[in-house]
């Protein structure tokens, strides 16, 4: 491996610049490297090896056509090449271009070329510039997390645009961006962004440590995958990172000292560490009036409890302790269950599974069929099942209430966790009725308080009087 150092020592005498050529065989090295690069890339048709010649200047350009921005090549390199008179001046010019990259090794040059850099060889000097063209830098509108008021732009799929968006909302010089590369095959860039003064140092160190452990993974395409890898747990149900696409949410989290991980090619960004109450807060809470916000927050928690406990409560109340319901209600429930052939917990599970299938299917349905699916779903889960006495009327109400209140939870990750959790509660209620439900609740509380997200306790009521602005 030949190590070419293209930092040229300049000696100024009489105001003129003199170039000292380092070694005699450096010229040979430069040409050797170039040949090696061309040979490595020679098999692909989109490699371009272009010699430029003008007066006494000679240069060679090597790049991969489909990656680079040809306008930029034209403007940045080719035109000046023909406009600048002397060779020396052109080399000065190339030095002073801001897009230059440091060359460390042949392999590095090769890898950079496959990312969209251009190698310019002039005499025996090698320059490398980053002029990649991105097509994914449009700034879309938020699709997953919607708010009524406030900014509507979401992250794009290009990492530089994303950092641009973030920096534009957070004009602090302490905002630090560290770039890492992930994936031995895909070599994606990962930006670790944090505010140097406010960040939680222990969490930062832990995250960086975990990221360094990931050298063996060949392909990391999305932040969600990344999240699972640096979770630190083999099996987890609850999310310990927040994934968001909203720029305002990211910036808010930065301002309270969290760390943001953004992967090139994925609009979702990871915010760590994240605790339970973060998942129950939507950005809307900051944009509406205070009382309305309180009302909506309470509503969300009510929704959370309904979706977790209602199916279990139904099982407990019908099969174990029917004296807990009002007489008329108990008679209603008994009446509506007349003719249903199986016990209540089977009924509940069966209806919920069908509803889950409906939800799963509607994610993957092409838009043309979605209308038909909703009709079918409504018909099946609605009147037809009760008419056929496969489920009771009240069951339908329970299932719809559960489904609707499930989606009141703002962040999708917790949503999914809760969807699985309610089956656990149904299990507890089946074994021990109402007492089992309470025990299940206590067990989940214990489990959640026992977990930590990078040193922060997961479930904790923060009523610090001098709050440092924890998110809601």
Closest approach of Cβ 441 to another protein, in Å? 8
Instruction: Note the residues at the interface with another protein (CB under 8 A).
Output: 233-235, 317-340, 343-345, 393, 424, 427-428, 430-436, 438-439, 441-443, 445-447, 449-450, 457, 459-461, 463
Gap between the terminal Cα atoms of the chain: 56
Closest approach of Cβ 430 to another protein, in Å? 6
Nearer to another protein, 77 or 395 (CB): 395
Bridge partners of 195? 175
Question: If residue 260 lies in a helix (H) or strand (E), which one and from where to where?
Answer: strand 259-263
Closest approach of Cβ 419 to another protein, in Å? 17
Helix axes 344-364, 412-450, angle to 10 degrees: 130
Nearer to another protein, 146 or 462 (CB): 462
Closest approach of Cβ 343 to another protein, in Å? 5
Closest approach of Cβ 312 to another protein, in Å? 13
Residues 6+ apart with CB under 8 A from 423: 349, 352
Triad 321, 317, 326: Cα angle to 5°? 85
Nearer to another protein, 183 or 433 (CB): 433
Nearer to another protein, 224 or 441 (CB): 441
Question: If residue 203 lies in a helix (H) or strand (E), which one and from where to where?
Answer: helix 201-212
Q: What is the DSSP string of 212-249?
A: HGGGG-S----HHHHHHHTSS-SS-SS-SSEEE-BHHH
Closest approach of Cβ 404 to another protein, in Å? 19
Nearer to another protein, 132 or 422 (CB): 422
Closest approach of Cβ 319 to another protein, in Å? 4
Nearer to another protein, 403 or 459 (CB): 459
Angstrom CA distances, 268 to 144, 255, 279, stand at 10, 19, 15
Rounded distance, CA 258 to CA 455, Å? Answer: 12
Rounded distance, CA 233 to CA 85, Å? Answer: 62
Nearer to another protein, 48 or 427 (CB): 427
Question: If residue 321 lies in a helix (H) or strand (E), which one and from where to where?
Answer: none
């Amino acid at each position: 491996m030949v190590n070419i150092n293209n930092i040229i020592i300049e000696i100024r005498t009489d105001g003129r610049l003199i170039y000292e050529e380092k070694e005699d065989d450096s010229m040979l090295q430069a040409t050797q490297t170039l040949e090696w690069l061309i040979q490595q890339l020679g098999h692909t048709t989109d490699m371009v090896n272009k010699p430029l010649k003008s007066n006494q200047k000679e240069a060679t350009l090597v790049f991969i056509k489909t990656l680079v921005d040809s306008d930029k090549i034209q403007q940045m390199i080719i035109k000046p090449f023909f406009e600048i008179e002397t060779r020396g001046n052109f080399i000065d010019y190339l030095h002073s271009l801001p897009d230059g990259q440091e060359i460390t090794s042949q392999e590095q040059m090769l890898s950079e070329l496959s990312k969209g850099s251009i190698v310019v060889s002039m005499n025996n000097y090698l320059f490398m510039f980053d002029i990649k063209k991105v097509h994914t830098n449009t700034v879309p509108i938020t699709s997953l997390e919607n708010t009524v008021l406030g900014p509507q732009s979401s992250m794009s799929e290009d990492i530089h645009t994303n950092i641009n968006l973030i920096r534009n909302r957070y004009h602090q010089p302490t905002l630090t961006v560290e770039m890492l590369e992930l994936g031995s095959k895909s070599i994606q860039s990962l930006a670790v962004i944090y505010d140097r003064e406010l960040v939680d140092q222990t969490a930062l160190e832990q995250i960086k440590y975990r990221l360094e452990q990931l050298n063996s993974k060949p392909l990391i395409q999305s932040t969600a995958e990344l999240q699972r890898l640096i979770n630190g747990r083999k099996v987890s149900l609850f999310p310990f990172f927040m994934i968001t696409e909203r720029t305002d949410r990211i910036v808010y989290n930065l301002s309270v000292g969290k760390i943001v991980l953004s992967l090139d090619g994925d609009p979702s960004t990871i915010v760590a560490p994240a605790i339970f109450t973060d998942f129950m807060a939507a950005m809307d809470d900051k944009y509406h009036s205070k009382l309305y916000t309180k009302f909506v927050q309470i509503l969300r928690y009510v929704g959370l409890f309904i979706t977790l406990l209602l199916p279990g409560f139904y099982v407990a109340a019908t099969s174990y302790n029917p004296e807990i319901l009002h007489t008329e209600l108990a008679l209603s429930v008994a009446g509506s269950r007349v003719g249903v052939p199986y016990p209540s917990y089977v009924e509940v599970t069966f209806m919920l599974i069908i509803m889950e299938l409906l939800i799963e299917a509607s994610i993957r349905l092409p838009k043309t069929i979605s209308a038909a699916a909703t009709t079918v779903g409504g018909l099946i889960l609605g009147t037809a099942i009760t008419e056929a006495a496969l489920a009771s009327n009240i069951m339908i109400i329970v299932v719809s209430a559960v489904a609707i209140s499930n989606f009141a939870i703002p962040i999708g990750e917790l949503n999914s966790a809760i969807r699985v959790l309610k089956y656990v509660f149904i299990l507890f209620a089946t074994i021990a009725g109402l007492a089992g439900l309470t025990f299940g609740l206590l067990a989940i509380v214990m489990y959640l308080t026992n977990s930590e997200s990078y040193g922060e306790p997961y479930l904790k009521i923060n009523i610090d009087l001098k709050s440092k602005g924890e998110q809601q």
